[in-house]
Structure 1
Amino acid sequence: MRVSILSAVSLPIILAMPMLAQAKSVITKTAITKTPMASEVLCDAENITPIYQIQGTGSTSPFVTAQSNESVKEVTTTGVVTARAERLYKGFFIQDPLGDGSPLTSDGIFVHWGASAPAEIVPGMEICVTGKVQEYSGFTQINLELQPKYKLGNQVGEIAATPLQVKEGQSLAQALERFEGMKVMLTAKSDMTVTRSFSLDYDSYRNNMVLSHQAPLMKATQVYAPLSAEAIALNKANISNQLVVESDYKADHGKVPYFPSFNAENGYIRIGDTLINIEGVIGYSYDKYRFMPINEISGSDFVRNQDRSAAPAIANQGDLRVASFNVLNFFNSPFGGDANPLGHNRGAKIESEMLLQRTKMVNAMAAMNADIIGLMEVENNGFGELSAIQNLVTALNDKQPTELAYQFVEVTDNNGLVGSDAIAVGILYRPAVVTLDGLAKVIATPEQHVKEGVVSRIKDGVKELNPAYKKYQRHSLMQGFRVNDQKLTIVVNHFKSKGSGCLEDWLSFNEDSEPEDLQGKCNAFRVSAAKVIGESIIDLDGDVLVIGDLNAYGKEDPLAVLTDYDANRSERVISTASHTRLNGLDHEAQGLVIDKGFGLINLNTQAHGAETYSYSYRGELGNLDHALGNLSLAARLVAIEDWHINAVESSLFEYSSKYTGELAKSDNVYSSSDHDPVLIALSYPEAQASNVAVIKDKAAGASLSFLGLLLLSALGFGRKSRRLTV
């Protein structure tokens, strides 16, 4: 007589029988619910293949063939339903309640139905299924889509979640393979950290978040030179250290399905938070492991490893504070402001959103207490009463005492415009603290103009001619100041973004893909800008501080050119872009090989090591916003801080209502932009600099006092450990 494997034995009884831990869960004499094709499912002991045998110890099931990614024959297995999947996956998850006790195999598996499974298949229900084993895009599953052969047993209660743990020496991906298809829970020992906050995933156009093991991910080229063995290894490790937290149903805009108290004031999610007490099942799709939550959590389940701060720690340090702040396309032209050169609006679409954006930024600037602020992405519509920069300054001064009010540096030529883009850089300053030294100077940056068909490449043995290219980047702004009778020159920059391609990307077949060196598109074009900036400051006297959004991470080529690059000591060849023009004239027809950098010092790296950040992109942190000083300026450094109010927050808290639904916004400083502001505290004592000898360093355009040398030596800041704290 054939006997069913399914039973009415409840989970408490199973848990009370540890002697069965290594045994098959074969229980006899259970009634079977009548279901489609139930007669074809032979759920007796000799026909059952345990889930853990189907999963095997490798990355793919031992039952599938390499040719078809499918088993030759059908298999029959049994388990308890742990979760239904209606949208993210179409089917249900089952798990052997006993398992084999092996750390190398998974006790759970996904059963693919192809649509919504019958309503009777619910968590806690015993089930027996027969179908072929498949590796669907790397996800092991039993396929019931064409022939749903299954039998239901009894409701035995839901299986307890298994704590997810990554063992010493394992990568997260290796650990997740062992948990694939299983119901798991994240605990403190899981050490799973938010590496991308809940926000729109532009790959799937779903709101989700990403976790990594132990610490948020750092961009490889933030800490290592492009194409170095270390950068390649870190990038590979980052790819395997991601777990996407993805709800079954596509989340409604502005809502976190498993975190109902999500809000901008006290229900936030920050990169660096450790997530605990959440249960879900492990799936795999689109080259990523996914955690599908099945319970709800609260704010206390996010352990704050570095919580929000109301103000930067260094807001009152030093004699002078300088900040760099990307203001996320602050535009006022649609709301009665002057027009920009392109007539485009890249900012708020309605006035209430613009006012919220301004309030959040003003609150952040007031808390920073900087004496000079370099701005990026402010609308390029002049300096009149109806300009964006005047609009911003007026609102900012409403929060300042009169003696600390700000003014903006004004450009008088080119009709009061800084370049020809819709956005520009700008400078705010406190006249009570610093005075202007001369007129502002706009530093034009290179443009790339290439006619169609002037260069060629060979692709698949066929000669191809180039498309036309017209590429621009924002001009830079330079202004001299006097600080306690000392000369300080500030240069504010905003280099070309990494998004759209330049000619060099086409020549290297990267017009539709990310460049192998991980520096993004138009890298050589940014190098061209860095070279022009370096040449513009090389002969300046006094202290020089170069700030802004360089759209390049800490070890990438534009930073190397501005700092310590030496072709004689580097295996990497750095070149500028070809076919460039400058100030309307031909500039460099061919890319120029750089032989030596301009000698500036990366102040953040000097103070904190390489693992600093102001921006998050695709779950990786790094610095796009920099502060580079010549030797004499570096000797004045008291402190530098990336104030983490934006990069680690959810973009859903920004001013825009796009993709946020009914989510209530806040006028607090968090998510006031997508970049963190950088604050630099400097020492400018009132009386002393005139009493010391000065050493002139012409190559770096710097003066360095003997006192400054001693101070620079004393500021040998300790490096961070590899584990990032945010």
Structure 2
Amino acid sequence: MNLSTRTIRAIAPFLLLLTSQVLAAGVCGGSATPISEIQGQGDASPLAGHKATVEGILTFDARMEGGFAGFYLQQADGETDGNPETSEALFVYTRKKTGEPGERLRVTGTVKEFHGLTELTNVRAITVCGSAPLPKAQVLTLLWPNALESLENMRVTVAQPLTVIDAWNLARYGNLTLAAGEQVVPTEYLEPGPQAANIADRNRQQRLLLDDGRGVRQPKPIPWPPGGLSGENTVRSGDKVHELAGILDYRFEAWRIQPAEQPVFEPVNTRPSAPARPSAPHVRVMAMNLENYFNGDGEGEGFPTTRGAPTALALKVQHRRLVEALRRPDPDILAVTELENDGYSDTSAIAQLAQALGPNWAFVETPGADGSDQIRTGLLYRSDRIVAEAKPERLNAGVFKKRGRPPLAQTFRPEGQRLAIQVVVPHLKSKSCRGATGGNRDRNDGQGCYAKRRADAAHALVEWIEQLPQIPDLAGTLITGDLNSYFREAPLKVLERAGFTSMMHHFHPCTAQQCDHYTYRYKGEKGSLDYALASASLTDRVIDTQTWLINTDEPPALDYKTNLSGTTAAPWRSSDHNPVITDIRL
């Protein structure tokens, strides 16, 4: 069928336009849109939704199996707009295989914003225009978002070593969170309020992820540190990363480096030995959150447990590590939290833990008074060194009547000594917001949810301790356990007004710049949720209170549920809290 002259004349302009577009897309050196115009000076591209042809150098190829299905294209150094507020690179989302790093490409596609990442998608054509030198890497000196936006997708090199502050997603997504230095929870050293909230927000903004250039979950091997994560080859929060260079990327609401080469890891925060006991006569009290120590039915079955080990093998790993962690400091008294609330029979969690610690270990029993929570607090002690005197007590009234975990109190007297100490083990409500209503909601002051309930629990704890039976020759009371509150938060103020001093903060105070003793890390910030609080009469008898940094600095991927090689019989990552160790001179 022949087209009429009229029809040909009608479609000719469209054919000419289409031909010119094809030529523009395929002819190297032809008219092209500068990448800086696509990026613009704001958070989003001013050309989003428009078709564009760009020409630049392929700097990083992420089209490998498990990659991001695309590559990064950057304007050549002599073709930039000279404006430091605009980026000269963008991500090209395509499965087309044309092009290699170090080649100049001409690409036609549609500009799109994908979860904050400016990219070229629906790629119609890619033409290789020959080899070209890679653009010079820009030196990255600030980690603020407004400083990073202008370098999005560009080659960068980080001016200084960065510090690992979080490894939560290391096993899941293959990335580590880095910052210029350690970040301390603001309410560890500041009163809760707007200033603390603002500093927490600033901390979150001053971070950079070290990624692995891939988009797969559960990468194998786990990419960091170089050589792959294992029990023997770990990376701890506080370690340094040097020679960091690659592509500055933005994905999943976070700025990250896709490294061109492996950076250098410096193990600054090495695994420490257990604190040595003082030479002078003393009693050593060790407090530790056990991260849900549940032992199934106590006879090798009953898995998965409701809160702890999912399998008998996972329990075996957890059990061995906890025993190592609890034995090595050679304590006289153990105050534990997150222990399964399953009675005191031979198959109970506390009985089997005591048995594993050794024949001289005994535990305090309060049957019928442990509350209805799945977990409880507990006390164990060396019966060859320490005598448990009088009846143990639990507070299971008021805020602890139904929903709370009843605190436990017991008096201990060292063998052959006149003076005794009273040890109280609390475990206050967590900061999780599940079910929070009214005054227990997050006030955005840095304390999280249930701050009111924790403060009420602290008041009840003080009143209860004051009403406990008087013990002859009592040197004082030590409250030691998990308060789920940082040092400047409301519960600690309540206890401080009642005459109890946080001995760890007395000996090792935390500031924004330095915090060497801490028990917990959460989303890149460190601080203490666990305490040793001495009554006024006991304060001068405390030789030292310190933490043993065995858990929170280790990647969660090394915990008892994963059982990576080389981890079964070591204390590292035996829990998600560091233990608190207090030496008392009696």
Cα separation, 2, equivalents of 1:370 and 1:434: 11
- 1:174-213 paired onto structure 2 within 5 Å: 174-186=146-158, 189-197=159-167, 199=169, 206-213=173-180
Cα separation, 2, equivalents of 1:516 and 1:392: 40
- 1:394-473 paired onto structure 2 within 5 Å: 394-397=355-358, 405-411=360-366, 413-414=367-368, 418-444=370-396, 446-447=398-399, 472-473=403-404
Q: Given residue 326 of structure 2, which amino acid in structure 1 is its aligned partner?
A: M
The answer on 1:83 being equivalent to 2:38 is no
The answer on 1:126 being equivalent to 2:54 is no
Cα separation, 1, equivalents of 2:299 and 2:542: 42
Cα separation, 2, equivalents of 1:442 and 1:547: 14
Aligned equivalent of 2:140, options 137, 147, 164: 164
**Residue 39 of structure 1 aligns with which residue?**
23
The answer on 1:648 being equivalent to 2:553 is yes
Contact 2:298/2:348 (<8 A) preserved: no
Cα separation, 2, equivalents of 1:604 and 1:103: 51
Cα separation, 2, equivalents of 1:59 and 1:89: 24
Aligned equivalent of 2:221, options 232, 244, 255: 255
**Residue 374 of structure 1 aligns with which residue?**
335
The answer on 1:321 being equivalent to 2:321 is no
The answer on 1:151 being equivalent to 2:127 is yes
CA-CA distance at 1:142 after TM superposition: 4.2
3-state SS in 2 of match to 1:599: coil
Contact 1:361/1:672 (<8 A) preserved: yes
CA-CA distance at 1:663 after TM superposition: 5.3
Cα separation, 1, equivalents of 2:49 and 2:326: 65
3-state SS in 1 of match to 2:175: strand
Q: Given residue 442 of structure 1, which amino acid in structure 2 is its aligned partner?
A: R
Quick one: structure 1 residues 42 and 338, their matched pair in 2 at CA, closer, same or farther if it must change by over 3 Å? closer
**Residue 23 of structure 1 aligns with which residue?**
none
Cα separation, 1, equivalents of 2:518 and 2:319: 24
**Residue 15 of structure 2 aligns with which residue?**
none
- 1:479-518 paired onto structure 2 within 5 Å: 479-483=410-414, 484-502=417-435, 505-507=436-438, 515-518=443-446
3-state SS in 2 of match to 1:440: strand
Please say which of residues 153-162 and 543-552 is displaced more in the overlay: 153-162
Aligned equivalent of 1:104, options 74, 80, 84: 84
Aligned equivalent of 1:672, options 571, 574, 578: 574
**Residue 534 of structure 2 aligns with which residue?**
629
CA-CA distance at 1:178 after TM superposition: 3.8
Cα separation, 1, equivalents of 2:73 and 2:300: 60
Cα separation, 2, equivalents of 1:78 and 1:258: 34
Q: Given residue 286 of structure 1, which amino acid in structure 2 is its aligned partner?
A: F
Contact 1:91/1:112 (<8 A) preserved: yes
Contact 2:285/2:582 (<8 A) preserved: yes
The answer on 1:287 being equivalent to 2:281 is no
CA-CA distance at 1:253 after TM superposition: 5.3
Query: What's the CA shift string for 1:604-636, capped at 9, x where partnerless?
Result: 221121344211122221211111111222212
Cα separation, 2, equivalents of 1:315 and 1:391: 30
Contact 1:446/1:473 (<8 A) preserved: no
The answer on 1:305 being equivalent to 2:268 is yes
Q: Given residue 388 of structure 2, which amino acid in structure 1 is its aligned partner?
A: L
Q: TM-score, normalised by structure 2?
A: 0.84
CA-CA distance at 1:393 after TM superposition: 1.4
Aligned equivalent of 1:173, options 139, 145, 161: 145
Cα separation, 2, equivalents of 1:177 and 1:208: 20
CA-CA distance at 1:522 after TM superposition: 2.1
**Residue 548 of structure 1 aligns with which residue?**
481
CA-CA distance at 1:673 after TM superposition: 0.7
Cα separation, 2, equivalents of 1:317 and 1:674: 32
Q: Given residue 256 of structure 1, which amino acid in structure 2 is its aligned partner?
A: I
Cα separation, 2, equivalents of 1:264 and 1:374: 30
Structure 1 unpaired stretches of 5+: 1-35, 65-69, 399-404, 450-470, 564-596, 685-726
Contact 2:520/2:552 (<8 A) preserved: yes
Cα separation, 2, equivalents of 1:307 and 1:315: 23
Contact 1:519/1:556 (<8 A) preserved: yes
Contact 1:78/1:96 (<8 A) preserved: yes
Contact 1:446/1:528 (<8 A) preserved: no
CA-CA distance at 1:258 after TM superposition: 5.6
**Residue 74 of structure 2 aligns with which residue?**
95
Aligned equivalent of 1:351, options 292, 304, 312: 312
Percent identity between matched residues is 27
CA-CA distance at 1:237 after TM superposition: 1.0
Cα separation, 2, equivalents of 1:244 and 1:621: 18
3-state SS in 1 of match to 2:410: strand
Query: What's the CA shift string for 1:283-319, capped at 9, x where partnerless?
Result: 223332122234345xxx2212221112225676762
3-state SS in 2 of match to 1:239: helix
The answer on 1:226 being equivalent to 2:192 is yes
Aligned equivalent of 1:273, options 223, 239, 243: 239
3-state SS in 2 of match to 1:211: strand
**Residue 572 of structure 1 aligns with which residue?**
none
Structure 2 unpaired stretches of 5+: 1-19
**Residue 116 of structure 2 aligns with which residue?**
138
CA-CA distance at 1:323 after TM superposition: 0.9
The answer on 1:330 being equivalent to 2:327 is no
